[in-house]
Amino acid sequence: MPNPLHHLLDVLRLERVGDGDGSAADPEHFRGVSVHQPTGRVYGGQVLAQAVLAAGRTVPDGRLPHSLHGYFLRPGGLDVPIDFAVERLRDGRSFSARRTHAIQHGKPILSMISSFQELQGGIEHASRMPDAPPPEDVPSALDVLGGIDHPIARFWSHHSAFELRHVGGSLYLGPDHEPKDHQMVWMRSRGDVGDDQLLHRALMAYACDQVMLEPILRQSGTSWVTPDISIASLDHAMWWHRDVRVDEWLLYVQSASSAQGGRGLGAARVFAQDGTLVASIAQEGMIRVPAM
């Protein structure tokens, strides 16, 4: 296996394959491949990150993404590339808006609108980071799964581009013994990724998708290994408040406000290790357990 982070960075280098004018009838086109997944399907966070990067290639210099809203429409396959069609919805004096469709076999697997803004001053306010043990004191996925000879365990412990450390225990091997609707997770990439802030924000979109629905599992007494459980992201919303570095520890403070009808809503506030609030995230997912 190649270095997981280097492989991911290679996957995120999109190829421009069309010079459209950015209209709905003639969008700009980019193409990317996928990171191997033991599930056999494209990982949703990867498509989000690639869509952010494709849109970012079309905005004026100096504008960074501050929000995205996307819907996962179909599962993606690992056997063919993904095409990204970007429409230029608006370029104002401070903001740019883009619509991006990720397409396989002529059909969209993701539809996303993102907004970009120039650096500007304004009112400053942010929530405070709750108390949490430092990441060095929290077991990693490698600590929990490193000795298990199973393809998914090996993927999470050795072949993931990000290191995860769950405060209070993970859900990799079983449910929480004290069900609750919240959790905290430390996360960072397994190496330096440079100083491109667009790339850091796209990588955050990549990384967060793997944990957003866990508070729902934790509250319901289920886990990633619950027999016949079916989980899929349905939509994703994200707001970047400040510059972020994914190659430094970030604390995801997560909650789940509701679950019903085979769906659940997860939310997260993301803090740098110094307590700075850098992002807020929300995601609804499908979670189906046959016995429930």
Dist CA 276 CA 278 (whole Å): 6
CATH topology of domain 133-291: Thiol Ester Dehydrase; Chain A (3.10.129)
Cα R_g (the chain), whole angstroms: 19
pLDDT-above-90 percentage for the chain? 86
Q: Which of 34, 83, 114, 209 is catalytic?
A: 209
Average pLDDT of the residues in 109-125? 96
Both tokens of residue 240?
Answer: 């970047």
CB 11 within 8 A of CB 32: yes
pLDDT at 159 over 90: no
Domain residue ranges in the chain: 1-119, 133-291
What tokens were used for 234?
A: 């349905």
Active site annotation includes 230: no
| Residue 157: active-site member | no
In whole numbers, what is the pLDDT of the chain averaged over residues? 94
Q: Judge if 1-119 and 133-291 fold alike in CATH terms.
A: yes
Does this model's pTM top 0.85? My answer is yes
Comparing 134-143, 150-159, 200-209, which segment has the lowest mean pLDDT?
150-159
- Inform me whether the pLDDT recorded for 40 exceeds 70: yes
10 is catalytic: no
d(CA 283, CA 236): 4
Residues 6 or more apart whose CB falls under 8 angstroms from that of 63 comprise 95, 96, 116, 117, 118
Q: Which of 34, 96, 160, 233 is catalytic?
A: 233
Q: Which CATH architecture has domain 1-119?
A: Roll (3.10)
CB 262 within 8 A of CB 287: yes
b/e map of 155-190 (b: 16 or more CB within 10 Å)? bbbebbbbbbbbbebbbbeebbeeeebebbbbbbbb
User: Encoding tokens for residue 102?
Assistant: 């990720």
